[in-house]
Amino acid sequence: MQIHVEKFGGASINSAKAIRNVVDILNAEPKKRVVVVSAMGKTTNALEKLVKARFEKRGVDTKTLNWLKDYHFGIIDELFGDSASMIKGYVCSIFDRIETQLLSDNGEAYDKFYDTVVSCGEELSSRIISAYLSYKSVEHKFLWAFDFIQTDDCFRQANVDWEQSEALINQYVAVALQNYDLVLTQGYIGGTDDGQTKTTLGREGSDYTAAILSYCLNAVDCTIWKDVEGLLNADPKRMATTTKLNAIPYQEAIELAYYGATIIHPKTIKPLENRSIPLYVKSFSNPQQSGSCICHCDDMSPLVPSYIFKDNQVLLSLLPRDFSFIAEQNISAIFAILAQHNVKVNLMQNSAISLSVCFDDCEVLKPLIKSLQVYYKVHYNRNLQLITVRHYSEQAISEVVSEPLIMVEQRSRVTAQFLVRTE
Ligand code: ASP
Ligand code: MG
């Protein structure tokens, strides 16, 4: 069986018009496919706000909840007109459940509660899209990802149990594909092995779901439909001119994601690489265009510099109080403290008696500094930007880096990184 996996993200299903376009894309090319959908538009952010308000003892954030309801019911009205009553019933019951959860206070931990509520975004979108497919007489099988993406209970960042998930995907999805050309399911969400508890795979995790399904079904290819023409060599919000990358080796894609390119969820590439499944990134507004392909190829084409910007960086410089050298013992002690605080280092540099590390600025900065100050003198700078240039040239660097603002600079054969002040 030749199976294709396709993921439609929030922007591709953010309005009635967008959802009609998805159906057009599916109808344009009949094939056996699993379609993975995210929550519509900015739904996940709104659900996050509801959870936060509830935990800050602000009760139900009715403004946000009403906005969410109006948004979904508005789309339903536009899609179904007079035939909306059944899907409205479903959607009402999901909103009732959300409201009951927000009003309850059974002492559940934040992250677990978050997953229960935030996973409703994908429930809503997939229910509405499934109803619309039926309304348009597109035969399909609707499946809950909770049933086959099995994870541990590390809420908000759940880890996939690959063995169990592969068996369940074969049991649910592969079997459904024997009878249907189209299976519709949700991205981003999963469940633990008790069959009750909902989990999520980390923000923007729908790409990852598509990759998991592709791997377990040994798909021919995996396509991610986006609001850009493909993978670009820089974020168009940051640079006036960008170049579309046509072909990207898996390894290069992993490197780009590692340095902070946000277009694809970083966990997505590995499962696809492991089974040599090409990943296409295509524009849902121009589905005929070729987009970009991440695959086993020798080199990136075209081979142009790529630029990645990471804002809100902090640089911490540590000097041992006893004036000892920065050697293996000090470095491993420092990294143990960083790991305790869950800090992921984006760049490091050391000299004889000092070590500097750069990471995303966050709430742990203060407690981290406190722990480090016991053994080290600590200096820090905030509001920095980390600029990474892959396949750099001097010309490429000069386009994005201004010499006097550089605080740390590092170059390898392929990658140049600059930590700069933002004045
Ligand atoms: N809806 C989720 C999010 O916004 C997952 C996704 O879109 O990939 O993070
Ligand atoms: Mg998304």
Tens digit of each residue's pLDDT (9 = 90 or more) over 242-267: 999 999 999 999 988 888 787 788 79
Q: Is the pLDDT of residue 149 over 90?
A: yes
Q: What number is the average pLDDT over the span 174-192?
A: 98
| Residue to probe by mutation, ligand 1, list 7, 36, 38, most atoms within 8 Å of CB | 38
**Cβ neighbours of 90 (radius 10 Å):** 16
Complete DSSP assignment for 110-171: HHHHHHHHHTHHHHHHHHHHHHHHHHTT---EE--GGGT-BB-S-TTSPPB-HHHHHHHHII
- Packing angle of the helix pair 365-373, 328-340 (nearest 10 deg): 150
- Alpha-carbon distance of 132 to 168, in angstroms, equals 27
Q: Is the pLDDT of residue 175 over 90?
A: yes
415-421 vs 376-390, strand pairing mode? antiparallel
Q: State the ligand closest to the CA atom of 211.
A: 1
Secondary-structure percent of the chain, ordered helix, strand, coil, rounded to 5: 45, 25, 35
415 is written with which tokens?
């990658």
pLDDT at 353: 87
Q: Is 172 in the pocket of ligand 1 (CB under 6 A)?
A: no
Average pLDDT over all residues of the chain: 95
Pick the residue whose CA is nearest to atom 6 on ligand 1: 204
Q: What number is the average pLDDT over the span 4-17?
A: 97
Q: What number is the average pLDDT over the span 314-322?
A: 93
Global pTM reads 0.90
Nearest ligand 1 atom, CA 203: 9
Q: Is 9 in the pocket of ligand 1 (CB under 6 A)?
A: yes
Domain range 4-226, CATH class: alpha beta
Nearest ligand 1 atom, CA 201: 5
- For the chain, give every residue range classified as CATH 3.40.1160.10: 4-226
Q: Is the pLDDT of residue 306 over 90?
A: yes
Q: Could you say which DSSP state residue 174 is in?
A: I
| Residue to probe by mutation, ligand 1, list 123, 124, 200, 204, most atoms within 8 Å of CB | 204
- Alpha-carbon distance of 127 to 75, in angstroms, equals 13
Can you identify the CATH homologous superfamily of domain 306-421? VC0802-like (3.30.2130.10)
Q: Is the pLDDT of residue 402 over 80?
A: yes
33-37 vs 182-186, strand pairing mode? parallel
Q: What number is the average pLDDT over the span 283-292?
A: 96
Q: Is 204 in the pocket of ligand 1 (CB under 6 A)?
A: yes
- Alpha-carbon distance of 290 to 269, in angstroms, equals 19
32 is written with which tokens?
């056996």
Q: Is 10 in the pocket of ligand 1 (CB under 6 A)?
A: yes
CB 276 within 8 A of CB 296: yes
Q: Could you say which DSSP state residue 391 is in?
A: S
pLDDT at 378: 96
Confidence of residue 94 (pLDDT cuts 50, 70, 90): very high
pLDDT at 105: 77
Instruction: Report the Cα 104 to chain-centroid distance in Å.
Output: 29
- For the chain, give every residue range classified as CATH 3.30.2130.10: 306-421
102-121 tens-digit pLDDT? 998 778 899 999 999 999 99
Q: Is 39 in the pocket of ligand 1 (CB under 6 A)?
A: yes
How far away, in angstroms, is 410 Cα from ligand 2 center? Answer: 32
Confidence of residue 367 (pLDDT cuts 50, 70, 90): very high
